[in-house]
């Protein structure tokens, strides 16, 4: 399910308040700085610290490679 672009403009990691990578096909918001993932529940991002999932090194590398290859969008205002 696609997230509203306006929502993507304001979403941030609940821990470090930084931008997240949005993997629409996996319904995953990912913080590569902290190796934390946040899932959606019924199309709504679950941005609670205690609901964040730790991501291991192999999965982290996979997600970074996928983001680079597919041009995955970051949350926060569009540059420019």
Report the SS3 class of residue 57.
helix
Q: Rounded distance, CA 7 to CA 70, Å?
A: 21
Q: What is the pLDDT of residues 8-32, one digit of tens each?
A: 999 999 999 999 999 999 999 999 9
pTM for the structure as a whole: 0.91
Domains of the chain: 5-72 (2.20.25.10)
């Amino acid at each position: 399910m696609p997230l509203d672009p306006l929502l993507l403009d304001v979403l941030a990691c609940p821990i470090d308040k930084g931008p997240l990578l949005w993997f629409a096909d996996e319904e995953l918001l990912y913080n590569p700085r902290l190796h934390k993932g946040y899932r959606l529940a019924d199309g709504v991002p679950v941005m609670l610290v205690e609901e964040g999932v730790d991501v291991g090194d192999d999965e982290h590398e996979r997600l970074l490679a996928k983001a680079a290859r597919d041009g995955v969008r970051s949350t926060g205002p569009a540059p420019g």
